[in-house]
Amino acid sequence: MNRREIVLASIVHVLGARPNFVKAAPVIDALRARGAAQAVVHTGQHYDERMSEIFFRELGLPEPDVNLGVGSGSHAAQTAALMIGLEAEFLARTPDLIVVYGDVNSTIAAALVAAKLHIPVAHVEAGLRSFDMTMPEEVNRRLTDQLSDLCLVTSPEAIGHLAAEGVPTGRTHLVGNPMIDTLLKNLDHFDTAAVRAAHGLPERYVLATVHRPANVDDPATAAALVKHLHGVADLADLVIPVHPRGRANLIAAGLDTHPGVHVLEPLGYIDFLAAVRGAATVVTDSGGLQEETTILGVPCLTIRPNTERPITITHGTNRLVTFDDLVPQTRKALETERGEGTRKPPLWDGAAGPRIADVIMEFLGE
Ligand code: UD1
């Protein structure tokens, strides 16, 4: 980027990890349509081609203006490296607003740096709470919201969470869910038959993803989880694109030794959602997938003791399960009529990006 463009870039989007890319695409699109000057700073928290570049290509995201190449590390080491890189970047670009997404370490690092430099922050997906401070994401969410000038909320209960934590109500805006904008925009491209053919998958399968530290970091816990996933594979073929975080422990526990288990590399956005759309049931510990299955009407079993997305239970297809519940609940879900009992959460309508852009432009006085 040349010097003149740097001076004009008044909105900086900070993106670092896979779910950020899916949320940012419609926001960047809508701001572009309003003529906003914007730049994308990729922190490099996720760096594998399959965790990063493929999403930029498929979602039509602009090439990042810079990639800080921070990479992996302990929470302290990664967050510190993120902050040092972002501080230099913000000082050079002098943006009028930083936009951060979700609850990953890049999110809190950017908010903290911006606040100390007195640069306003907009937080997309503010106010979600699992009330479980053992999750790094809950720490990141709470602190990011305290530091944000605009709390852009995907779900009505988040408004109450923010108010209870003392966030002035004027900062909070219910805008809907930009992840669902991306899903609805790409729906016609989710070709289940093509993804089945490409990966040699059967017609009927359960799709699983697991990557939460609480489920995969401890070898004994990962081994217990694998035992239950094999129980699921006794009921129906199990397709599992494996996040790099859990790969070593899950494979060491014999994940791929069951003949009904199909272990895949991480998939790009289009292939992954095509696989989700065609699944008989989804088993996951992801946050975003609880929302995507709600809109696609696919039964979702979330292997966690809590969720920061309760609207996917009240309105959608989601259900929390323990390891011990997993097999009986999968059996039940496989008998459930697809799409049964789902209501769309308010404003999950494909127009969250434009609403977020309107709030941002008004905040900037444009
Ligand atoms: C991060 C987020 C999590 C989100 C997830 C989505 C935090 C605290 N967590 O978790 O909320 O649900 O992204 O994917 O920010 N790795 C690779 N290649 C990559 C990226 C990671 O091999 O491109 C491996 C490395 O071994 C790394 C590990 O995955 O140490 C964890 O990566 P990290 O970004 O620290 O956290 P995630 O588990 O991906």
Secondary structure E strands in 34-137: 38-42, 66-67, 97-101, 121-126
Q: Whose CA is nearest to atom 33 of ligand 1?
A: 72
Task: Kindly indicate the confidence band of residue 366, based on its pLDDT and cuts at 50, 70 and 90.
Answer: confident
**Residue 340: what pLDDT?**
53
Return the H-helix or E-strand segment holding 355: helix 352-363
Average pLDDT estimate for 223-251: 98
Ligand 1 centre distance from Cα of residue 46 (Å): 6
**Residue 7: what pLDDT?**
42
CA angle (247 as vertex; 223, 323 as ends), nearest 5 = 35
Q: Which residues line ligand 1 (CB under 6 A)?
A: 17-19, 45-48, 51, 72, 78, 103-105, 136-137, 211, 243-245
Ligand 1 centre distance from Cα of residue 195 (Å): 25
pLDDT, tens only, 63-118 = 999 999 999 999 999 999 999 999 999 999 999 999 999 999 999 999 999 999 99
pTM for the model: 0.96
- Stretch(es) of the chain classified as CATH 3.40.50.2000: 2-177+348-365, 187-334
**Residue 339: what pLDDT?**
59
**199: annotated active-site residue:** no
- Of the residues 13, 161, 211, 315, which is catalytic? 211
How much of the chain exceeds pLDDT 70, in percent? 96
d(CA 117, CA 109): 13
- CB 201 within 8 Å of CB 211: no
Average pLDDT estimate for 183-202: 97
- Say whether pLDDT at 5 is over 50: no
Q: Which CATH number fits domain 187-334: 1.10.10.10, 3.40.50.2000, 3.90.226.10, 3.40.640.10?
A: 3.40.50.2000
Domain 2-177+348-365 annotated CATH 3.90.180.10: no
Whole-angstrom CA distances from 159 to 125, 164, 197, 211 are 11, 9, 44, 28
Average pLDDT estimate for 323-334: 97
